[in-house]
Amino acid sequence: MKLLTHNMLSSNIKGVTNGFPLKIEAEKIIERPVEINPVFLKNMFAKLEWKPLVEASRTMGFSELPEDVPDMSVLDSDEFLQKFHHALLEIHLEEGALVCPETGRKFPVQKGIPNMMLHEDEV
């Protein structure tokens, strides 16, 4: 699972008002190189929640993203784009779990696929 997907996912257990961001418990992390696409990154930038992305990439062992929300001008620098791209699309959570911030419910991640199925009493 990419951090891009992590940044979009929220827990939708019944009664949870703010299921975002899910905490990451990483057991196995892999990196898969992908071709960089600056246009996509620029487009995506506005939709991302920056803080959760920085936090998530830290848990995954990549701490080169700036702490504070950078402004749009930074998107012109290749160095930043490279880091941004790496954090967003190249780091994959292979085994581990996602934890709902409100209820502490764990969604297991196996073989890179998060299991977001809810139990009957959570719907």
3-state secondary structure of 106: strand
Q: Which residues make up the interface to another protein (CB under 8 A)?
A: 1-2, 4-5, 7-12, 19-20, 34, 37, 39-40, 43-44, 47, 49, 89, 111-118, 120, 123
- Rounded Cα distance, 90 and 18, in Å: 27
Q: Which of 18, 27, 28, 7 is nearest to 100 (CA)?
A: 18
In which residue are the tokens 């073989």 written? 111
Nearer to another protein, 9 or 75 (CB): 9
Nearer to another protein, 11 or 57 (CB): 11
CB of 24 to another protein, least distance (A): 14
CB of 49 to another protein, least distance (A): 8
* Element (DSSP H or E) covering residue 79: helix 78-85
CB of 36 to another protein, least distance (A): 12
